[in-house]
Amino acid sequence: MTARIIDGKKIAQEVRAEWKVRADALKAQGITPGLAVIIVGDDPASKVYVANKVKACAELGLYSEHIALPADISEAALLAKIAEINANPKIHGLLVQLPVPKHIDSSKVIEAISPEKDVDGFHPINVGALSTGNTGFVPCTPYGSMILLQKSGVSIEGKHAVVIGRSNIVGKPMAMMLLQANATVTICTSKTVDLAKYTRDADILVVAIGKAKMVTGNMIKPGAAVIDVGMNRDEHGKLCGDVDFESAKEVAGWITPVPGGVGPMTITMLVANTVQAAERATVK
Ligand code: GUN
C-alpha cells in the first residue's frame, strides 16, 4: 500500500481563505484583527518562527506587532510589557514565543497573558476549557492536525488514536482533542516500554517526540493515518520528521510529509485564533 499524502500546504491555503472571509467581515465593520508576538533573546529558530507568524498575518491583511526584547530583560519588565498589550484594544491576540531565557518563569509569563488574547491556548483557563469541552482557544499545532485529519476524510470516532509525546504545546492538547472527537486515546512518551506494541494498534498515530525518523514502517498499522509533528535535521542536514517517511508511506493509509504537512497548519491556526479573538472581542 502507498499512503495518501496529506498536503498541509494545500489544506492550509483552503483554511486561510475561509478565515480571510471572516477577517474581511470584521474589517468591513472597522475592526482589523491584531496580533502581537513577543520574542525574548535571539534564538535563531525562534526568530524564523516569529517572522513566519508575522508574515502570515500580513498576508491575510491582519495588523501585527513584532516585539523583540533583549535576552537579559527582567521577568518584571516582560510581565509589564504583557500587561500593556493586554490593555491595548488594537491587539486581539498575544503570544510570547517559547522558550524564554532560563531566568524567566514561563508559567508566570503564560498566566500573565489575558485568556481572551491567549491565541496559543496555553493559559490554564484555556487548557481547562479544552478538557471540560468549553469554548476557549486551542493550541495551534494540534488544532491544525485535527483539521488535516478531518479534511482528509479520516474517521476519528471510535478509532484508537495513539499520541507519542506529552508536551503542553502538542501531545496533551492533541490527546484531549482526539478524545473530544470520540477517539479512544493512548498517550505514549519517550519512556514507554515496548512503544511499537501501542503504535501497531493505532488507527491514528500522532508523533510529537522530537527524535528524527523514530517511527518506522514496521511500527505502523496498515492503513493508519500518520500525523508527523516532528521537525528535525537528518544525518545529511535535511529537514525530516519524527517518522521515517520512506518506510512509513508503504504501510500507512495517510501520512503528512515534513516539511509541508503539519507546519503550514500551525501558523494558519494562529491566524484563525487571532481572527476569532477579534470576533469575540467585538460581540461583547
Ligand atoms: N515554541 C514552539 N512552538 C510554539 C508555539 O506554538 N507557541 C509559542 N508561543 N512558542 C512556541
Residue 284 has what pLDDT?
59
Tell me, using a 6 A CB cutoff, whether residue 113 lines ligand 1: no
Q: Indicate which residue of 7, 81, 97, 159 is catalytic.
A: 97
Say yes or no: 150 and 103 in one domain.
Answer: no
Average per-residue pLDDT for the chain: 97
Q: Which of 7, 81, 117, 120 is catalytic?
A: 120
Cα of 58 vs centre of ligand 1, distance in Å, is: 19
pTM over 0.85: yes
Beta-strand relationship, 239-240 and 232-233 = antiparallel
* Residues linked to residue 65 through DSSP beta bridges, in sequence order: 36
Kindly list the distances between the CA atom of residue 273 and the CA atoms of 37, 72, 117, 136, 167, in Å, as whole numbers in the listed order. Answer: 13, 30, 9, 10, 20
Read off the pLDDT band of 283 (50, 70, 90).
confident
Q: The domain containing residue 72 runs over which residues?
A: 30-114
Say yes or no: 246 and 199 in one domain: yes
Q: How confident is the model at residue 190 (pLDDT cuts 50, 70, 90)?
A: very high
User: Which of 7, 53, 203, 276 is the catalytic position?
Assistant: 53
Q: How far, in Å, is the centroid of ligand 1 from the Cα of 138?
A: 13
Assess whether 53 and 161 both reside in one domain. Answer: no
Q: pLDDT tens digits for 105-145?
A: 999 999 999 999 999 999 999 999 999 998 999 999 999 99
**Active-site residue flag, 120:** yes
> How much of the chain, in percent, has pLDDT values that exceed 90?
98
Do residues 110 and 143 share a domain? no
**200 belongs to a structural domain:** yes
Q: Give the sheet arrangement for strand 34-40, strand by strand.
A: 63-69, 34-40, 93-96
Whether residue 78 is found in the same domain as residue 181: no
97 carries an active-site annotation: yes
Shared domain check, 143 and 47: no
CATH number at residue 91: 3.40.50.10860
Grid cell listed for 160:
484508537
Q: Distance between CA 272 and CA 146 in Å, rounded? A: 14
